[in-house]
Copies of this chain bind each other. A is one copy, B any other.
Amino acid sequence: MAQPKYLTGDKAGIEEFIDKFDAFLFDCDGVLWSGDHLFPKVPEVLEMLRSRGKQLVFVTNNSTKSRADYKKKFDKLGIPAKVDEVFGSSYSAAIYISRILSLPPPKNKVFVLGESGIEAELESENVPYVGGTDPSLRRDITPEDFAAIADGSMLDDDVGVVLSGLDFHVNYLKLAIAFAYLRRGAQFLATNTDSTLPMAHAFFPGAGSVGAPLVKAIGREALALGKPSQAMMDAIEGKFKVDREKTCMVGDRLNTDIQFGIEGKLGGTLMVCTGVNSKEDILGEGKPVVPAAYVDSLGDLMG
């Protein structure tokens, strides 16, 4: 397998690389920022790409935020972006449920294990839901709950989908309810299955870990609608009309971002070393997922 090209400090190589593409898909966490820390020269790089006529799409697996929430985060960090340039796994899941799964109402209700970002995107597609940020579920499970979940009196007969995402308020009660719906035959979807979440220069449990109790309990994986699921790539291609040959995926994580680009048969993939994976994971023989090129950090594209 070809070794990835190292572009940091290689002015000519950078020029040549950028010239190959009309569109850049960016992962956000670990690429543009880590938590609330903006990486150096990120606005400049995006500005430079825009000035050269490139289409930018911000593709994120972070399901806690809606596209509108993401826009606020971009504004706060001083990164110029439009709501329509943001494509999140919550939005991807909402589109899948409303347009592809198309369950007949009223049996199309979704039980959400996740935060308000998922709720906002479901609302944008007019998909009814329960759970999510419902304050009545943010408490300890009681003996009465066990009985009411077991006999179904606490469950909503219209729930046909369990959608699992990153939930900072996960608890046993919500897991027990979600598991009961799955046992009753609900479809099992996940916004994404990232095992970890880069934050504050460290790693925390990701959406895939938060939803892991459901996978373990029911004994099967969820259908994931985030990277590297190609359902998300198809939706991006449909919405932004990008030419895959002339599109580059930029990310920090090999098994989501880079794999997403490779499986999507994009013209290129670029890894940054400011997130989950490092050079050691891509250099040498026998590495399972390798980008076309890599830089130490996104700002290095300024040359």
Residues of A with Cβ closer than 8 Å to B?
A: 35, 140-141, 146-147, 149-151, 167-172, 175-176, 179-180, 183, 195-196, 199-206, 208-210, 212-217, 219
Contacts and interface: CB of A to CB of B under 8 A. Distances in A.
Given A170-B170, A205-B213, 13 more contacts: A35-B146, A150-B202, A151-B200, A167-B172, A172-B210, A175-B210, A176-B205, A183-B202, A206-B217, A209-B216, A212-B212, A212-B213, A213-B213
B168 A199 contact: no
B150 A179 contact: no
Given A204-B179, A215-B212, A216-B208, A199 B146 contact: yes
Given A168-B140, A172-B169, A196-B217, A149 B204 contact: yes
B202 A212 contact: no
Contacts of A202: 146, 149-151, 180, 183
Nearest to A193: B216
Nearest to A183: B203
A168 B219 CA distance: 20
A270 to B, nearest CB: 25
B200 A147 contact: yes
A81 to B, nearest CB: 23
A35 B168 CA distance: 29
6 contacts: A35-B146, A169-B172, A171-B171, A172-B210, A195-B216, A195-B217
Contacts of A206: 217
Contact of A140 (B140, B169, B175, B180): B169
Contacts of A214: 205, 209
Contacts of A195: 216-217, 219
A47 B176 CA distance: 36
A223 B288 CA distance: 28
B205 A179 contact: yes
Contact of A146 (B175, B179, B200, B209): B200
A80 B215 CA distance: 38
B209 A217 contact: yes
A271 to B, nearest CB: 20
Nearest to A200: B150
Contacts of A219: 195
A263 B212 CA distance: 28
Contacts of A212: 209, 212-213, 215-216
A213 B216 CA distance: 10
A166 to B, nearest CB: 9
A298 to B, nearest CB: 21
